[in-house]
Structure formats: structure tokens, C-alpha cells
Amino acid sequence: MKRIQYILPALLTIGFLFAGSSCKKILELESKNVPSSNKFWKTDKDALAGLLGGYSLLRDALTDENRYYVYGDVPANTFEITYNSDYSIHQIRDGSFDGVYYGYLENLQDWTKFYKAIAQANLLIEKIPGIPDAAFERNVKNQYLGESYFLRAYNYFFISRVWGDVPLVLEAVEDVSEAKNYGREKQDVVLKQALADLDQAVAMLPQAPLSISDRGLRATKASALALKAHIHAWMKDYVKCEEATRDLVTNPGSYGLTFITDSASYAKMSIGKSTEAIFEININYDQNEASWNGVGEKTLWTPFLATRIIDKNKDGVPWRVHQGTMSNLFWEAGDKRSSHWFYYDSQADIYMLTKYSNVIYKNSAETKDPRYSNNILIFRLSDIILLRAEALYKTGKEGDARTLLNITRNRAGIGDVDPALTGVDFFYELIWERGRELYAEGHFYWDLMRTDIATEYFNPVFKEAMHPGSSTYGRNYWPIPRKLFKDNLLMKQTAYWNGRL
């Protein structure tokens, strides 16, 4: 067994490191477990094993400390977090990303888990083309390669929104001792590379999942187009965002909205694999992937979680619904989403988010040892409909944007948008509809920052944070922890955080 000194946080070749594994600065790797040997990359089963490892690594990165929701929802006041239950998250909600509690926040500042997933994608992109076509029992070689490009692109898009400029690593590294140090690349360069990867993915991926059991869980052409659309929107290229969303919305194929009138199906949408699932992270109890500390653990109590009882003092509620945000978003009477996703606890006089309430007890007889079995909903059809509406508005087609906005509003039971709302007022209503429709799905903070609505909505500390030259420029990005600078002179801190850590 070879002991490898981990000195380069931006690069790590790990092979099969599945969810639940741990990683320290000193790694012990056995060559038989690392898909870097030419003896390994011989068959379609080798490629599939490596690919599923890539999905697992992305899952591990997003579920670690509930990062997906911490980055995308908490700073947007989705949750009202108490000092006595989760003080470090309270700091994040107030815009403090700089490490008041280093044991927790410094972990959230660390991008290493995402670079493990990127390292796996790089291996797949290098090795799959070398496997003979005849070694694949089905014609899936290009599909596997397309999924690998998608995974690399998604990882880079995600970390670019969290940290801004990030190291751009495209080479597969089979021997960590030969890895080189990297500095940070400009965000637009990283995102352009992600778009180039997605061009490859779109050409290789199937239109729909090959198996109904893979719906939303494996990347398809729709997944790649959805990611392209989000990247273009983040880069404020709404012409290309409109192009990327066109086929998904006008010709969705096997994708379709789950209607609220079918209450049973709609309630199950957040469990996963609904008709509108474009890309999700699988967290399924039946497949031994449910989590004991997922977002449900943060948001649920009795009667939706038998193991947590809340008294009138509200003690022990980690992430309760922020009632100010809820009332600002769900202000129209009859919005069926609010009745499906929220529960009013009259004893404590607070609201509970019940969107992720698929709880299964390992000790079912005594309702103990809960497991939370809800997928992470990354892209679904209603998200893309509203993103297309945003692109249409930004390209001067407000009427077409209104038509799309009314689709999700009518599904929710609140009818067409007020025709008196035009121009910027209409645009604000469109973003609020995204906040309603995608509540606690990891989008709202990014939506507010992307559209420059952030300061007007929730927090003055983000004033002009995305505008070069302002005094707060870069505050919306997370700082890089001190440990990532060790032995890497090329690494630089985000300018805003220099001297503040």
C-alpha cells in the first residue's frame, strides 16, 4: 500500500471514492482500487463503474454539510435560523462567509470534494475513448463520454458560482506525485470551458434516459441543455440562454409538468424521478443511499419527524421557514404550493418546510433511526420554463415571457400575472415566481445575485458585490481557507477577503 502525501488540494486522483468515504491529508490508495491502470480500462463495465463513481463523488460534494442548500438557499433568507440551534448557519444567512466558527465554515470554504469529482471526470474523459468500441455490449460509449463531460461542466459551474475564479484542471492525473500546482483562472474562462464541454455532451447524450429507472439521475441531452442555459444566464448572455431553452420548453418530449391537481404525484415530486426531473442527485433509501443527516434532518419535526418534538419555546429547530420571506413570496391567496410544502405548527407558532419529508425509519416499530430519502432537485422542467421566460424578457419579448410565467402560476392556482405589471415590475414578479416555484431547491440566492436584485431583497452586505470596482466586489463569493495555500504559491485569495480572514 502506497502512502501519498496530499499537498495539492486542487488536484486529487482517487478513483473509486464513493459517498460516505472519508478523505484526510494523508491518503492510502491501493492500485487495484484506482481506475488509472491500463489493466482497468478495458470494458464497458469498467467505464460504467468509473462513471457511477463520478456521480457518487458529485453527490458526496453536494450533500456534505448540506452544501447544496447552504450555498444556494441560506444566504437568501429561505430559512429563519435560531442562535441556539445552528448559530454558524445564522452567520451565513447574514452574509458572513469568513469563518466565525472555523470548524464548520472553514469546511464549507474548502472546494476539495468538488475537485475530487473533477479529477474523476478528467480520468473518464481521457480513458473512455481508448476502450475499444467492440468492448461495449450496447452502443453506449459516446453516452458515457457525454455524461463525463456533463459532470465536469456541472462541477465547474457550481464552484464558479461559489468561489468565483477557480483553478481550471483538465488533465487526468494518475500519479499524484506528478501533479502540478494551479492558480485560479478567471470565472469567464472556466465557464467557457464548461460550455465547450457541454457542446460535446449535447452531441453525445441521448434525448431521454435509456431506462425509466434512470429518469433524472443520469445526464441526458436535456440535462446538458439545462446546464448550458443556466451558465449563459449567469454570464448574462440571454440570447444564448433563450436558444438553449427553446427545444426543452417548446418540445419537451418525455418531460412534462406534474400537475398539482394530482396531489399524490405532486407531493412525491421532491422524492425524485418525477415527469419533470431533468437532473437530480439520487438519495434513495431503497438503494442504501438515504442520509441520516440530510436537509430533512434540518427542517423537520413532529408530526413529520417522530424523533424531534418542538415545544412552544422553539428549541431545537435548526432551519425553520423564514416567515418574512415566505409571506413576501406566497402573498397571493390560493397558492397550492404553500399548502403542499409548508406546515403551520400552532404550538410553536412557526412554519415547517415539509418539501423533504420522505422519512423512513430503520427501526420502524419504534419510529427511531430516521433516514431522509429525497433527491436533490437540480434541474426540473418548471425551472427551465421560468429561466426561458427570463431570457425572453431580457431579449425584448415580454409578451412571450408572460405566457410562460402564467404556466407555473396557473398550475399553482393563482391565475395569470396582473396585466398591469409591465417592464421591470413584471421582471421582479418573474423572479419572485422562481422563488416560489423553486423554494428551497438551491436556486434563490443565485437568482438574486444573477439578476442584481439581491440588495433590494434581503441583505445590504451584498450591495454591488458582483460589480467590479465597488467596495464590496467579491463578497458574494466564499473565501478560500488557509490550508489550501499550503505549498502552493500560485494560489491567491479573493481580493475582498484579503486581510479579513
Residue 25: is its pLDDT beyond 70? no
Residue where a domain stops, chosen among 322, 356, 374: 374
Residues 145 and 10 in one domain: yes
Residue 94: is its pLDDT beyond 60? yes
Residues 192 and 99 in one domain: yes
Residue of 27 and 250 predicted with greater confidence: 250
Residues with Cβ within 8 Å of residue 402, at least 6 apart in sequence: 389, 417, 426
Angle between helices 141-163 and 44-63 (to 10 degrees): 20
pLDDT at residue 16, rounded to an integer: 30
Residue 452: is its pLDDT beyond 90? no
* Distance between CA atoms of residues 166 and 184, nearest Å: 4
Asked if residue 110 lies in contact with residue 485, where contact means CB atoms within 8 angstroms, the answer is no
> What percent of the chain is modeled with pLDDT above 90?
59
pLDDT at residue 362, rounded to an integer: 86
* Distance between CA atoms of residues 378 and 224, nearest Å: 12
Q: Per-residue confidence at 10, pLDDT binned at 50, 70, 90?
A: very low
Q: Do the domain assignments include residue 320? A: yes
Residues 201 and 291 in one domain: no
pLDDT at residue 221, rounded to an integer: 96
Asked if residue 150 lies in contact with residue 222, where contact means CB atoms within 8 angstroms, the answer is no
Which residue has 415527469 as its cell numbers? 275
Residues 40 and 173 in one domain: yes
What CATH number is associated with residue 477?
1.25.40.390
Q: Do the domain assignments include residue 53? A: yes
Residue where a domain stops, chosen among 356, 374, 392: 374
- Tell me the per-residue pLDDT of 56-80, one tens digit each, with 9 for 90 and over: 999 999 999 999 999 999 999 899 8
C-alpha cell recorded at residue 436: 416560489
Residues 347 and 481 in one domain: no
Residues 177 and 324 in one domain: no
Q: 376 in the Ramachandran plot: left (φ > 0), alpha (ψ -120 to 50) or beta?
A: beta
Nearest to 10 by CA among 179, 190, 197: 179
Residues 26 and 174 in one domain: yes
- Tell me the per-residue pLDDT of 364-402, one tens digit each, with 9 for 90 and over: 887 888 899 999 999 999 999 999 999 999 999 999 999
Mean pLDDT of the chain: 86
Residue where a domain stops, chosen among 343, 374, 405: 374
C-alpha cell recorded at residue 234: 449567469
> What percent of the chain is modeled with pLDDT above 70?
88
Type of residue found at 260:
I
Mean pLDDT for 3-10 is 27
Mean pLDDT for 104-125 is 92
Asked if residue 56 lies in contact with residue 421, where contact means CB atoms within 8 angstroms, the answer is no
pLDDT at residue 17, rounded to an integer: 31
Residues 199 and 297 in one domain: no
Which residue has 438503494 as its cell numbers? 287
Residues 190 and 294 in one domain: no
pLDDT at residue 500, rounded to an integer: 81
Residue 12: is its pLDDT beyond 60? no
Q: Do the domain assignments include residue 339? A: yes
pTM score: 0.91
Which residue has 444556494 as its cell numbers? 72
Which residue has 452567520 as its cell numbers? 91
Residues 3 and 138 in one domain: yes
Number of domains in the chain: 2
Q: Do the domain assignments include residue 230? A: no
Q: Residue 486: count other Cβ atoms within 10 Å of its Cβ.
A: 11
Q: What is the enclosing helix (H) or strand (E) of 119? A: helix 112-127
Residue of 47 and 285 predicted with greater confidence: 47
Nearest to 197 by CA among 164, 174, 227, 222: 227
pLDDT at residue 322, rounded to an integer: 92
C-alpha cell recorded at residue 336: 397550492
pLDDT at residue 317, rounded to an integer: 79
Nearest to 101 by CA among 113, 84, 89, 83: 89
Mean pLDDT comparison of 205-219, 359-373, 415-429, 467-481, highest-scoring range: 415-429
Q: Do the domain assignments include residue 398? A: no
Residues 6 and 110 in one domain: yes
Q: Give residue 361's domain range.
A: 287-374
* Distance between CA atoms of residues 501 and 479, nearest Å: 8
Phi (first) and psi of residue 74, to 5 degrees: -60, -45
> How many residues in the chain?
501
C-alpha cell recorded at residue 326: 415566505
Residue 348: is its pLDDT beyond 70? yes
Q: Do the domain assignments include residue 317? A: yes
pLDDT at residue 103, rounded to an integer: 57
pLDDT at residue 288, rounded to an integer: 76
Q: Do the domain assignments include residue 442? A: no
Residues 180 and 313 in one domain: no
Q: Do the domain assignments include residue 482? A: yes
Which residue has 470494458 as its cell numbers? 43
Residue 216: is its pLDDT beyond 70? yes
Of 188-197, 337-346, 424-433, 469-478, minimum mean pLDDT range:
469-478
